[in-house]
Amino acid sequence: MPGAGASGGSGGGGGCGGKPGQGGGAGGSSIALVSIGAQLTFDSCTLQAGNGGNGGAGGDLQPGGTGGLAGQAGVGAFGSKPGCPGGQGGIGGNGGLGGGGTGGHALALAYTGLSPTLSEDSRMAQGAAGAGGPGGGGDMASNSGSAGIASAEQEFP
C-alpha cells in the first residue's frame, strides 16, 4: 500500500559540556614592610624583600560527554512502512582551559597615604617578581598568568 509510513524515532540528546580547567593559584609575595596610613621616617635602615613566587599552572579541560542513544523507529501499521530510527546525540563540547596564576610581587615597601621619608644612608631593595604560571594544556600564548611586580616602593589604594 503506497503512502505515508510510521514516524521516525527522535534523535538522542546531546552530551553534557565538559567542566572548565581550574585557574592556577597566585604566587606568594615578598614585602619587607607594609605601612597603612602611617607617617614613617627611616634613619640608617635597610628594607630588603626576597623574590616573589611563580604563579601556578592552569588546569586542563574536561572533555564533553557522550551523546544520548538514538530513538527507536516507529512500527508500520495497517500495511504502512516502518519509520527510520533517530540519530545518536552529539558529543558535548569540551570545557575551557584554566588560566595560569599571577606571579607574586617583590616589594621593599607597600604603603597607603604619605610616602615614607628615608635618610641618605637608608636603602630599599627587592628581589625578582614571580613569573606568571602557564595556562592549562600548555597554552602559554593566550591564557598564561601575568608576572608580579618588583619595586622598591608601591603605593596601593
Nearest to 55 by CA among 140, 127, 125: 140
- Angle at the Cα of 126 (from 121 to 131), degrees rounded to 5? 170
Residue 10 has pLDDT above 90, yes or no: no
d(Cα 66, Cα 8) in Å, to the nearest integer?
Answer: 22
Which of 3-12, 34-43, 137-146 comes out lowest in average pLDDT? 3-12
Domain ranges of the chain: 28-57+97-134
Question: Per residue in 52-95, pLDDT tens?
Answer: 999 999 999 899 999 988 888 878 777 778 888 888 899 999 99
pLDDT, greater one: 120 or 9: 120
Question: Per residue in 93-131, pLDDT tens?
Answer: 999 999 999 999 999 999 999 889 999 999 999 999 999
Residue 3 has pLDDT above 70, yes or no: no
